[in-house]
Structure 1
Amino acid sequence: MRIPAPRRRRLRSATASARAARWIPLAVLFPAFFALPAAPASAQGERPGIVLGLVYDSTTSVPLAGARVAVVGTTVMGESNDVGQFRLEGVPPGEYQVIFFHPRLAALGISIPPGQVRVTAGAVSEVYLAVPSRETILSAWCSAEPGTGDTSIGGIVTDALTGVPLPRARVTVVGNRTGVLQRRRMIVEVRTEDSGEFRVCKLDSAEELTIAVSFGRDQALPVDVRRAGPNVLDIEITISEPVTITGVVVDHGSGDPLPDARVDLVGSSFSQLTDSVGRFGFAGVPPGRQIIETSLLGFAPRLDSLTVFSNEALGLEIALSTEAIVLDPIVVSGRSNRRTGLTTPGSRFSGLTAAQVDSIAPRVFDFASLARAARVPGVTITEKMLANAFGGAQLGVCIEMQRSRAGANPNTCNMVEVRLNDGPVPDPAFFLLELNHRDIKEFQFLTPLEAGLTYGQRGANGVLLIYTR
């Protein structure tokens, strides 16, 4: 089972001196581990409890494996597994703070506030631990910078061909038009580090902000900054010329062309059905390594890898072999006119199956659009500014169900419980914004009534189950 691929890279400081000082703003926001209070002593004879949890890296949108997790005030320690989950046994009853250590924290230059957990005798308790998102880290870094502006920008500049970071790239931020010629006023200009990373802080959102990036004689398209707050913008510069790929799909046995075969460039928006003589073609493909996926009902699908160079025209012949198809059994659902009892989990499917995701995913750009395509009654999906764990406002995906919204404040989000591969997800609204929708195999919504039978109070607002490939 594949964990969602990260969509962004981590952000570092803009100067060597800042790298040494970047612990300062986060030290103000996050309490030091050594200052944590000791845990209360448990009553004599009470059975210990179990703490289950998940460590998640919000900067890369993947669970964090190999994190050392400790319950403060006890000798109980453990380590997160390959999917970020951990299990701590023998914890005396009481209220505790849970901390974790990982080299990723040192690489980012941050410390993390502890998680809170109440352990009950003989029971299982859950706690979620997470590395903050890149937006939160950027906001913390910029909090120590001079100025009064409310907007910060940071990111990484890479080569679109190889994905290699570009050092010393020029990053320019311009504002309102001024003067007789109405030229954009330059606000600030910086250079990327050796890692390709940059940041500019405390800009005024009242101005019309645009960021332009150049590397040598090559330039990226300007990007408008449309909202206040921290903005993480990863920018690619296309240094090479695009490529044209054409080809024909044929039957391996007979050599006859195969019409209506689907040809996809994996990880891109290039997708096409072959014409009546089996031909297909893609123009404007970025040079570099490409993965071509070809499929047709009744034939075994195939994946091919090729490397194309700048300004090259490439012709392919793809042969498909026949394949025996095993069909799923038919499932018949009936409904009685008589009144029935409560709906139980598994009695219906509200979401998208693997086949439906495969059909829809190439036509959408994020998880929110994919979830809307499911058209689940009673589910509303919006993108709006939400409060993060440190009191700031951050863009997130809010998913709510009608049954749980009575009397709700319109400025808050009664977020459904999100479970990834049956594990809990911390900060689900921000996780869904970063989730790569092409990594999703299928997903399902459970109403509060259905979810309550399995997840108890955690399912009071409904549950979203996501399974990856």
Structure 2
Amino acid sequence: MRTIRPSLPRVPAIIPAALLASALLAPLPASASAKGAPSSLMATQAADGTIQGELVEEGTGRPIAGALVVLMNEAGARLTATLTDTDGRFVLRVRNAGRYSLRAERVGYATTTSRTIDLEDGATVTQRLTARVRGVELQGIAVRARSRCERTPDAGPATQLLWEEIRKALESTAWTQQEGLHTYVVRHWTRDMGPVTLRIARETTRMDTTAASTPFRTAPAAELRDRGWVQAEDGETVFYGPDAAALLAPEFLETHCFRAVPHPTDATRVGLAFEPVRGRGRPDVRGTLWVARDSAALREMEFGYTGLEGSAYDRRMGGWVNFDRLASGAWIVRRWNIRTPMIRESRPGGAIAEPEQQIVAFREDGAEIMEVRPRGGEARMLGVFGSLRGTVWDSTAAAPLAGALVFLEGTEYTAATDSTGSYVMDGVPPGIYGLSFAHARLDSLGYEPPFMDAAVAESAVGQAALAVPSMGRIVAMQCADSAGAVLYGTVNNAANGFPLPAAAVRLAWPDDSAPGGLARAERTTDTRGRYLFCGLPAGVSVRVSGEFVGRPLPTATLALAQDAPREHAIAADALGRIQVGGFTMTTGARAPVRVSGRLTMINGAPLASGMSVHLVPMRLAEGDTASPRQVPVRENGEFIFGRVIPGEYQMDVVDASQRMLSRPLAVGGGESMQVDLEIDPATFSMDPVIVTARPRMGVLTFNREQIVAEMKHSTHAMEMLRRVREVIVTPSRCVGLRAEMNYYRPYSRSTPYRPLCRPMTIIVDGVPLEPRDNLLRVLPLEEIESIEILNPHAAASRYPNNPLGVMLVTTRRPASRAPAAP
């Protein structure tokens, strides 16, 4: 049992969750085996007798595969079981002589029982069983929305028929788990969800390969009966989920009642609902087992909690389990989840008052089998995902927004828009997500898109259209708290149209109550040359004026309306020296020959060694081109760029630890530009990077001890690589060496920069991966023995055809179980 311990600020009491039991069933008695399953036979103790045979269809004689054959004693008690193989054959080892019988069960078909078998010591008895192919018909079951809740599942004809088919599926599931005949690739997830809409705010995932027979468990049935399904343990509250062992236990049957119910939306399904009997008096579970009418196959179980008090509990607490039948006839749990609340306690009435509880979020833990591989058989893919498709439209330009990064909040699922503004995001797990997008243009517009709800369903394509609103709408939102008219615009270089920061824009309009009969307002343009006035009087004319580096701006007279924000662009000569806080620029009359500058610390401390300045073009005049550039910072803080083309740039100051400080830079006309920047060390922003490993002669090595230490911060290889300063992982999950990239800047929500992908060669256990392979994204750190990164020079002698470097990953798996990409 594992409990969830979410980390919330100032949350004195947290509701944790126990992991839901897998489906399920307590282990069957030892000695069950099918012919052709060697490990099952080896695990069985030496038998005194053998009962073998085959199961065939009545009339045709065709073998029946995947049926569960159960051995029973004279009293009808179950002793052992096995599944028939593809030829319908079965083998059961029996320890003692005696009188026995066989029962062959298949979900959706009538049960077949053999005659009595007299087995002597050491004897072998062969039985040929025939089964009628008449299916169990559930289509005719008539259920009411509110039928009587029977104290036992076999009390009424409808509940008895449903329970019999459900029992078969659960017993087959238990047998599959006990025998361990399959290897599973499982995707686990943990989600933090909103308290109202259940929108996913954060999701973490990990992949696991296991042959565990019972990956999830719950508490003993007697304990659940006596103490309830929600228990306080060591200061925490633990929610237990019902597994099959609990459902079949006498303690559960005596404390719950059952009834057949119709599905609220799907007429092809019918359910067996269970709930605690009246007067239970303890926290309990209620739920429904859903069965297909046509095949009687168990599809899923959903459950919730009852008997809980207080405002911190609601009906959304609970979970579900999905079942699936393999081609061999074995039943497995394909997907499951459990959802529990995260609670905040407060005492508004003082320290002695009763605490009030409030649900601040939900925590969902779940898992899904992505691939199942029978022993000696072909793998079967089971994972089911959905897709999102749509467009991003830029209303300010009346055109599609190409190159936007569309993403789901709190996850690593992203997609880029093409030239038509369209995006496709495949392979998304079902759920409700927050959907938004990012683009460099959004920063220049001063707009941050809100998140919208996006529902993703299994095997379905969802549509979600996104848009940048009109500029009038953007400024209206920025002035939402101010009543009145709105005036906005930019001050641009008249020679090339590029924005000018630190220009003073002044307004004046008639107002008898103001001194001199004129009211006035003034704004200074930001680093993008933008200005905004909110709350201006409507229905009057305002006079616009101002100055830029001592030169007057062109004047204009504008009429303002209440419900229509007014835009006004101002063209000015870009001559003189500009000061914006600690950011200083000097411009000349023609295109600059060079951009030079000086960095200083605001506290007077000396600059750290190894700093550099990056200049990244964001927008240039039509026909102009420029590449990202980088220059070192001298000891006195000076740096120089030669011949910079006019345009809008991103200037990044990077220290030796790859921490970064970014500022926009508008380069206007002139012979030279001087940029002086005061640096506050606290403003550098970047996640900590791994410093325990050091490159030596072009080789960077992480041993097992270092990888184990990194597990405190990362769960899989891709997360770890994002923290290695010599490595870059782009938003498209391209992995490359920092020195081989044209340029790198950390991901920003509103101004993402996507560097040119120059991937290194990645080799896992001697097998090269394809570019953008997903394996590193899902390879758990606990399965990695070492990682060795070679730069192009170090890799040349061993891997001469890999000019961008090589990463060697050695796993802890045997050679026969080397990981494969999903």
TM-score, normalising length from structure 2? Answer: 0.21
TM-score, normalising length from structure 1? Answer: 0.35
- Max Rg structure: 2
Higher RCO (CA < 8 A, seq sep 6+): 1
